[in-house]
Amino acid sequence: MNKLAAMNTPIFWAEGHPGALNRDNWKLEIKGLCDNPVTLNWNQLMELSSTTVNARLTSVTRWSVYGAWTGIALSTLMNLVKMQASCKFLRFWSVGEIYDTSIPVDIALKERSLAAWAFDDEFLSEDYGGPIRALIPYLWGYKSAKSIVRIELMGYYVPGFWELRGYTDSAEIEAGLCRDINDGGALKNIPGGEVVDFI
Task: Note the residues at the interface with ligand MTE (CB under 6 A).
Answer: 9-15, 57, 59, 94, 99, 128-129, 141-142, 144-146
Q: How far apart are CA 92 and CA 97, in angstroms?
A: 9
Q: Which stretch binds Mo ion (CB under 5 A): 17-25, 29-37, 58-66, 184-192?
A: 58-66
110-to-26, 40, 51 alpha-carbon distances in Å: 25, 22, 13
Alpha-carbon span 104 to 41, nearest angstrom: 25
Closer residue to ligand MTE in complex, CB, 80/168: 168
User: For residues 105, 198, 180 and 127, what is the CA-based torsion angle, rounded to 10 degrees?
Assistant: 10
Closer by beta carbon to ligand MTE, 30 or else 179: 179
Q: Does 141 help bind Mo ion (rule: CB under 5 A)?
A: yes
Pick between residue 131 and residue 141 the one whose CB is nearest to ligand MTE.
Answer: 141
Asked if residue 129 binds Mo ion (CB under 5 A), the reply is: no
Asked if residues 115 and 53 have their Cβ atoms less than 8 Å apart, the reply is: no
Task: Output DSSP code: residue 107.
Answer: H
Q: For ligand MTE, which is the closer residue by CB, 33 or 190?
A: 190
Can residue 32 be called a binding residue for Mo ion (CB under 5 A)? no
